[in-house]
Every structure is written in structure tokens, then in C-alpha cells.
């Protein structure tokens, strides 16, 4: 097919952008530029609206979860203290969050713990050991904005990390009660700490919605509104064990009764 000739009036300037003279003097182009500007403004307003809410925005979910600020990495560090806090209540554990394969693998090494995981994000880049856990059914992908594929009281303990930070209150109202539904003895929730933000923000977002790092007081009020109370016994044991070993978590950790 013959190539269509290029309109000289629509050529770009040397820098790759429309020339200033063209923008100022081309009557035919002005309405189009105005329309594009209005569309861009509308998109910005919509993005701001859907991401509105309390907290500090992290531009990259992947950067947050894979950087030093990862609360899933914090779960691995906290496992010895969780075992001392919950004891026999850690017989059957469900982890919900990114990199669930790593958490499940560490729990299964204990021998006496049944461990299962829910990965709310893509597993395309998973390594062979993670794919093996998925094939065996220990870890599965599931959108946590919808009911989890488990019966009520399926687990003694449910541990959540790097997941609730990415939900708006609208979805939290559904997800949090569902997490409580599948647990008999409690929830342990790891959330990002606005006061200790370590995430890199230079990477482009890969998984859509950015995180909202909400304060401890915000979460406490929300838990009360949802009908969840602080699990005082395990909380005290956890704090004692952590203090004895000078362990100071970077993430916020909430121990809740279900």
C-alpha cells in the first residue's frame, strides 16, 4: 500500500514536541489540544478520587513489598515470637499476602505446623519451589476482595501482610470479616508504618492501586468498628518475647480476637 503523505502543518519540532507557534496559531489544532487537556485532567481527578483516604501513598506496590519496608519479610523475622505467643494455636496457619510461598515454606520447616497460603497477586515470576507449593495446593492465588475459598474456622491462626494496605475501606469492610470467618483463635495483621516508610518510589507500579499506610490509631478505630478486639494474651507474650531479644518491628503488628 502507498504511504499517506505527511501534513507539514502537523510535524513535530526538533525536540519531539509540537512547536509553540503551531499551538498558538493553528486554529484547527487548538480545540483538539483543549479536549486532550480536559481528558487528562478528568483522569487525574478520577485517580485522586479512587485513591483518596487516610495514609501515605506508595507509588509502587512491588517496590513496597520487595524492599526493606516489606511486611511479609517482617513476618519471617517475627515467626519465633509468634510461636512463643500463640503456642499450640499455631497448629494450622493461613498466611495471606504477597510472597506467601516463602512464609509457608518457613512454617512447614517447623514440622508440627500445617501451613497454607493465599497469594493475592500474580505468580508468573514464581520460582520452582513456589510452583511446587502451588501444585500441591499449599498456596493458591485468590482475590481477597472476594470471599476466601475456605470454610468457617478452617485455621487456628490467620496471618496477613502487605495486603490490607492496598484495599480501600469499601473492600476492607468485606475482606476483614472474611479473614476472621476462617480463623478460630485470632488474626495477626502486619501493616505498613507511615512513620518508618522505607519503600522505593522510583519504580513504576506493577499491580495497580498504591498502598495506603494508615496510622495505628486509624486501624484501632477501624477494628473496633468492625467488631474485632485486641487479643491481649498473645499480644503480651509476643511483646515480652520480642523485648527479650531486642526485636523492634518496622511494621505495625495487630493481634486480634475473632
List Cα–Cα distances, 246 to 94, 143, 188, in angstroms: 27, 36, 20
Is the pTM higher than 0.85? The answer reads no
Domain identity same for 118 and 204: yes
Q: Would you say the C-alpha torsion 167, 170, 171, 172 has a positive or negative sign?
A: positive
Domain identity same for 121 and 17: no
Domain identity same for 181 and 86: yes
Domain identity same for 132 and 244: yes
Structurally, how many domains does the chain consist of?
2
Cα–Cα distance measured from residue 89 to residue 183, given in angstroms and rounded to the nearest whole number: 11
**pLDDT per residue as tens digits for the range 79-108:** 999 999 999 889 999 999 999 999 999 999
Domain identity same for 109 and 206: yes
Domain end residue (candidates: 29, 50, 71): 50
Q: What was the pLDDT predicted at 35?
A: 74
Domain identity same for 43 and 63: no
Q: What was the pLDDT predicted at 181?
A: 96
Q: What was the pLDDT predicted at 212?
A: 85
Q: What was the pLDDT predicted at 138?
A: 96
Domain identity same for 66 and 23: no
Q: What was the pLDDT predicted at 2?
A: 43
Cα–Cα distance measured from residue 105 to residue 132, given in angstroms and rounded to the nearest whole number: 11
Domain identity same for 23 and 76: no
Domain that holds residue 244: 56-257
Residue 250 sits in a domain of what CATH number? Answer: 3.40.50.150
List, for the chain, all residue ranges whose pLDDT scores fall below the cut of 70. Answer: 1-31, 33, 40-69, 195-209
Q: What was the pLDDT predicted at 99?
A: 92
Q: What was the pLDDT predicted at 32?
A: 73
62, 203 Cβ separation under 8 angstroms: yes
Residue 109 inside a domain? The answer is yes
Q: Which residue has the cell 498473645?
A: 234
Amino acid at each position: 500500500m502507498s504511504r499517506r503523505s505527511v501534513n507539514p502543518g502537523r510535524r513535530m519540532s526538533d525536540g519531539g514536541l509540537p512547536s509553540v507557534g503551531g499551538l498558538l496559531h493553528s486554529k484547527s489544532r487548538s480545540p483538539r489540544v483543549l479536549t486532550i487537556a480536559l481528558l487528562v485532567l478528568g483522569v487525574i481527578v478520577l485517580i485522586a478520587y479512587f485513591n483518596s483516604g487516610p495514609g501515605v501513598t506508595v507509588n509502587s506496590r512491588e517496590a513496597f513489598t520487595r524492599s526493606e519496608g516489606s511486611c511479609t519479610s517482617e513476618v519471617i523475622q517475627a515467626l519465633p515470637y509468634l510461636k512463643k505467643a500463640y503456642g499450640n494455636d499455631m497448629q494450622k496457619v493461613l498466611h495471606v499476602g504477597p510472597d506467601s510461598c516463602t512464609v509457608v515454606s518457613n512454617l512447614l520447616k517447623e514440622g508440627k505446623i500445617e501451613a497454607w497460603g493465599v497469594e493475592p497477586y500474580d505468580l508468573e515470576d514464581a520460582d520452582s519451589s513456589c510452583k511446587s507449593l502451588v501444585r500441591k495446593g499449599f498456596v493458591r492465588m485468590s482475590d481477597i476482595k472476594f470471599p476466601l475459598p475456605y470454610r468457617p474456622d478452617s485455621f487456628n491462626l490467620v496471618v496477613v501482610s502487605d495486603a490490607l494496605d492496598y484495599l480501600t475501606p469499601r473492600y476492607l469492610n468485606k475482606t476483614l470479616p472474611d479473614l476472621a470467618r476462617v480463623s478460630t483463635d485470632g488474626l495477626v495483621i502486619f501493616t505498613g508504618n507511615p512513620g518508618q516508610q522505607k519503600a522505593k518510589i522510583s519504580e513504576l507500579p506493577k499491580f495497580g492501586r498504591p498502598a495506603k499506610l494508615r496510622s495505628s490509631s486509624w486501624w484501632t478505630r477501624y477494628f473496633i468498628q468492625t467488631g474485632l478486639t485486641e487479643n491481649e494474651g498473645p499480644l503480651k507474650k509476643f511483646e515480652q518475647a520480642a523485648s527479650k531479644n531486642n526485636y523492634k518491628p518496622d511494621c505495625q503488628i495487630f493481634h486480634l480476637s475473632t
